[in-house]
Chains A and B, each alone.
Chain A
């Protein structure tokens, strides 16, 4: 479970998130929706501390992953990120071989046993529904794959380190409809084992794949409920207008 408690977040003077409190359940898909610039990515990146990389940011409140306050001084950020993986909007494979891309996380963790690495890599690529397409070209450069394959490779890369949580920031927005469908199918597949948080601009996608949906507006969490209720029975006028496409 991910607990977000009274989180305020600032980029220098800019107040990007205002008093966010929510609980993200385990082994389910939670979607973040909202108009551009409302802070979805910002909140998502707070969960694996990617915003640490940006200068001049400030956070108040707490974020707990599996009961542990991740901004506590005792927490090692590398350990956290092994537990909380991330898939980015634009596929970003390393310019290395397909195999080495997926093995990367294992190698940086210090895994040396090549047969174990091989097994884990194969396993991860299978879980990402990419195996049949790449099993014969594992040594080819990953940047030669199609965009959709690259994104599934990035998911495989993330799965290889066996995270508990997967954060996805618009993982299909740069892809064609068929690749998008594959990613969606994959997400549904994965949710029995992983806690998934996905940012999306595509209402239909949120409806298809998520169990819970959070609607953000101007840095505030407007409404958070089951996906069914958000889309069919929204409590707030703003939510209703947004999900029915009247603004956004």
Chain B
């Protein structure tokens, strides 16, 4: 009787634990996505400001990217926006203040709205940034809508200036590229090295040496990532700087090297397991045909272990993509759209870590970081699904 009860209690406790874990995971995902998705549909204009043009102008809405170009004066003629050929006159409060006499504006700037109204109604080519509360029924200009953030503008946008005024830029292309090239570089470094190491440990090293190497490799996995970051900053970054005669050594290459080192334990241990799982009968069959040890390794052992090696690689990439601290410390964190490994780049996790502290909670920047988190989550989740798929296929074989 008592035994039965205690058994039931045990089962109950286990069930609650697993339920709690699952619910936590689901809650985190829901939280991430609800914050991230609400980023879409927000407008990247500075809080409390609007854009206005002359009523003769037909412009109704403008994309954040174009808008930034206008403010950077890369676009300085209305014809580039599909309007009549005339120069764009940018004005903001400061300029209005210099264009009108002190009398007209008033000592406390209390008539600034009238000046705006006057200026916008008289100049056909005007493009004005003005406080929202100046737009009243008396206003003789027209307000231009800034287009909302969309998945397309988010994923394709080439600029990431989350705090730019009056229009912030939320294009993640540079961050995505940064993440991808750093991870790709890491794998290009870690895969040959890790595979070589795994082959040595499983096929060549004597038992004694393997017994020393294996714990060392596992130790590598246990080093905190800031320590890798320090190592990168003190050793790798200066090395790259002098080696390639660069102004700054904080580059994508530095990130790739550090991430490559960090991915090594995953790649080595998993592919070594895969290699050691190759039945000895396969090696004997090959050797008995007169194949050399190397032929046996390349033509029989590695192909036999290939799905395990793929898993190792993909998990290594997964680790590299999500890694934050070390990358933040060595890549220079400039949001560049580049394929040049000798330029600074900025990755998604590093962006989140670096900017979350300064983004006002609940604001558009804050939400944009959550949206970045969603993207990162989708990437790592697809990697995990792929690994599952590969290992299942191996299970069938």
Contact = CB atoms under 8 A, between A and B. Distances in A.
Contacts of B299: 104, 107-108
Interface stretch (A82-90, A125-133, A192-200): A82-90
B288 A108 contact: no
A157 interface: yes
B289 A158 contact: yes
A53 interface: yes
A92 B279 contact: yes
Contact of A50 (B206, B207, B284, B300): B284
Contacts of A82: 289-290
A64 to B, nearest CB: 19
B202 to A, nearest CB: 14
A81 B289 contact: yes
Q: How large is the interface on A (under 10, 10 to 19, 20 to 34, 35 or more residues)?
A: 20 to 34
A81 B207 CA distance: 26
Given A95-B304, A104-B299, A109 B290 contact: yes
Contacts of A107: 299
Interface string A43-65: 00000101001010000000000
A104 B284 contact: no
Given A55-B206, A90-B281, A108-B295, A78 B290 contact: yes
B285 interface: yes
Interface in B266-319: 279, 281-292, 295, 299-300, 303-304
Contacts of B288: 48, 50, 81, 85-86, 88, 158
Contacts of B286: 94, 104, 108
A93 B284 CA distance: 11
A95 B292 CA distance: 19
Chain B interface, >50% SS class:
helix
Contacts of B281: 88, 90, 92
B283 to A, nearest CB: 8
A147 interface: no
Nearest to B285: A92
Contacts of B304: 94-95
Nearest to A108: B291
B279 A78 contact: no
B306 to A, nearest CB: 10
A105 B290 contact: yes
Contacts of A81: 287-290
Given A55-B206, A94-B282, A94-B300, A104 B289 contact: yes
B370 to A, nearest CB: 46
Given A55-B206, A108-B295, A108-B299, A94 B285 contact: yes
Contact of B289 (A53, A95, A96, A157): A157
A208 B133 CA distance: 107
A98 interface: no
A141 to B, nearest CB: 9
Contacts of B283: 53
A90 B284 CA distance: 12
Given A94-B300, A95-B304, A108 B284 contact: no
Interface in A102-117: 104-105, 107-109
A32 to B, nearest CB: 17
Nearest to A87: B288
B289 A105 contact: yes
A121 interface: no
Contact of A92 (B206, B282, B290, B291): B282
Given A50-B287, A94-B285, A78 B206 contact: no
Contacts of B284: 50, 53, 86, 88, 92
A161 B279 contact: no
Contacts of A55: 206-207
Contacts of B285: 88, 92-94, 154, 157
Interface in B189-221: 206-207
A79 interface: yes
B390 to A, nearest CB: 16
A158 B284 CA distance: 12
A81 B293 CA distance: 13
Given A95-B304, A104-B299, A78 B282 contact: no
A102 to B, nearest CB: 10
- A-B interface, 10 closest residue pairs, ranked by CB to CB distance from nearest: A82-B290, A92-B281, A105-B289, A86-B288, A108-B291, A81-B290, A92-B285, A78-B290, A108-B295, A78-B292
30 contacts: A48-B288, A50-B287, A53-B287, A55-B207, A78-B290, A78-B291, A78-B292, A80-B290, A82-B289, A82-B290, A85-B288, A86-B288, A88-B284, A88-B288, A90-B281, A92-B279, A92-B282, A94-B304, A95-B397, A96-B303, A104-B286, A104-B289, A105-B291, A108-B289, A108-B290, A108-B291, A108-B295, A154-B285, A158-B288, A161-B289
Given A93-B285, A94-B300, 16 more contacts: A55-B206, A55-B207, A78-B290, A80-B290, A85-B288, A86-B288, A92-B282, A94-B282, A94-B286, A95-B303, A105-B289, A105-B290, A108-B290, A108-B295, A108-B299, A161-B289
